[in-house]
């Protein structure tokens, strides 16, 4: 091959590459989680195959709290009438459960909005939302923490990975619908990476020595962008306590053997 042709081919291969058709630092949009793992870790929750494939590194204290939680899903599922899932009374699900549980199409989605100084996540379930501060502030000192359902979060970019560190979680929430607990000591790190224009990956690591004997890493959650979201009929998906209570009393309790009557 002539040198001039070789040069041309090399130049084409270097400069002719198409630009990525997405900005890896743009996480905005409606996202549906497509991975069917609704737990914090890689515990498969599909109906008919509800046994876990990985066990949480619970401490003795963590195990006591885990056993006290009575979920409606997973290997320890009990009828809602006999359970105590916070979802069954419309309590806030909190972080990270909002990311683990109810962001599956066509159920409901997660919307990410990035504005100067903040990244905001909107969850269709409950019409809940959280702020991740990106203005360079630090997490509050231990004696300044206000414990909240969604915690306090700050975010930063590490190359093309958006890293969110959070503390200050109210310990009444569960990690997922399998009933895994956490304490107020929990620290959570989320790592978001836009893989391509349609795909977002999330992995999480929680550190909570009171509940788990070592840092616990989630499976990789996969989200697909939902550009047709605006074409769908969108209900205000609130969990309404009065409606939930009536449903529990008239259906769930009857089906589950409490027999409160209708």
Partner 1 sequence: MPTIGRIDVLQLRPRIYWRSMLNRRAFSLCITAVFLSGVTAVAHHGSNVSYQLDKTIALTGTVTEWEFVNPHPQIYFDVKNESGEVAHWAAELLPTPSMMKNMQVGWSRTTMKPGDQIQLVCNPSRVAGAKACLAKELQVNGKAWPLAGGPGGPKGKQ
**Residues contributing to the site for partner 1 (CB under 8 A):** 36-38, 42, 44-54, 72-73, 77-81, 83, 85, 87-88, 104, 106-108, 177, 219, 232-235, 237-240, 243-244, 246-247, 250-252, 254-257, 259, 262
Q: How far is the CB of 210 from partner 1 (least distance, A)?
A: 28
Q: 73 vs 162, which CB is nearer to partner 1? A: 73
Which residue from 224, 254, 262, 241 is spatially nearest to 105, judged by alpha carbons?
224
Closest approach of partner 1 to the CB of residue 240, in Å: 6
Residue 21, token pair as written in the block: 């058709």
Minimum distance, C-beta of residue 53 to partner 1, in the bound complex (Å): 3
Q: Nearest approach, Cβ of 214 to partner 1 (angstroms)?
A: 20
Residue with Cβ nearer partner 1 (137 or 246): 246
Other beta carbons within 10 Å of 193: 18
Minimum separation from the CB atom of position 76 to partner 1 (A): 10
Q: Are strands 199-207 and 221-225 parallel, antiparallel or unpaired?
A: antiparallel
Q: Which is nearer to partner 1, 87 or 154 (CB)?
A: 87
**Gyration radius from the chain CA atoms:** 22
Question: What are the tokens at 31?
Answer: 């996202």
Q: Contact 153/131 with Cβ under 8 angstroms?
A: yes
By beta-carbon proximity to partner 1, the closer residue of 104 and 145 is: 104
SS (H, E, C) 15-42: HCCCCCCCCCCCCCEEEEECCCCCCCCC
């Amino acid at each position: 091959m002539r040198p001039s042709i070789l040069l041309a081919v090399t130049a084409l291969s270097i400069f002719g590459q198409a630009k990525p058709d997405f900005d890896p630092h743009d996480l905005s949009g409606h996202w549906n989680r497509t991975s069917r793992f609704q737990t914090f870790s890689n515990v498969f929750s599909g109906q008919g195959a509800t046994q876990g494939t990985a066990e949480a590194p619970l401490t003795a204290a963590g195990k006591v709290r885990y056993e006290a939680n009575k979920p409606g899903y997973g290997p320890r599922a009990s009828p809602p009438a006999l359970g105590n899932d916070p979802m069954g009374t419309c309590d806030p699900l909190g972080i990270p459960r909002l990311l683990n549980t109810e962001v599956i199409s066509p159920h409901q989605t997660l919307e990410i909005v990035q504005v100067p100084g903040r990244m905001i996540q909107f969850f269709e379930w409950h019409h809940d939302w959280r702020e991740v501060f990106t203005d360079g502030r630090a997490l509050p000192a231990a004696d300044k923490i206000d414990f909240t359902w969604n915690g306090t979060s700050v975010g930063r970019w590490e190359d093309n990975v958006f890293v969110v560190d959070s503390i200050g979680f109210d310990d009444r929430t569960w990690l997922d619908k399998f009933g895994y607990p956490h304490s107020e000591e929990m620290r959570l790190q989320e790592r978001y990476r836009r893989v391509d224009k349609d795909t977002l990956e999330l992995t999480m690591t929680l550190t909570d020595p009171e509940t788990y004997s070592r840092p616990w890493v989630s499976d990789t959650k996969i989200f697909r962008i939902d550009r047709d979201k605006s074409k769908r009929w969108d209900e205000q998906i609130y969990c309404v306590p009065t409606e939930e209570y009536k449903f529990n009393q008239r259906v769930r309790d009857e089906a589950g053997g409490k027999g409160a009557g209708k």
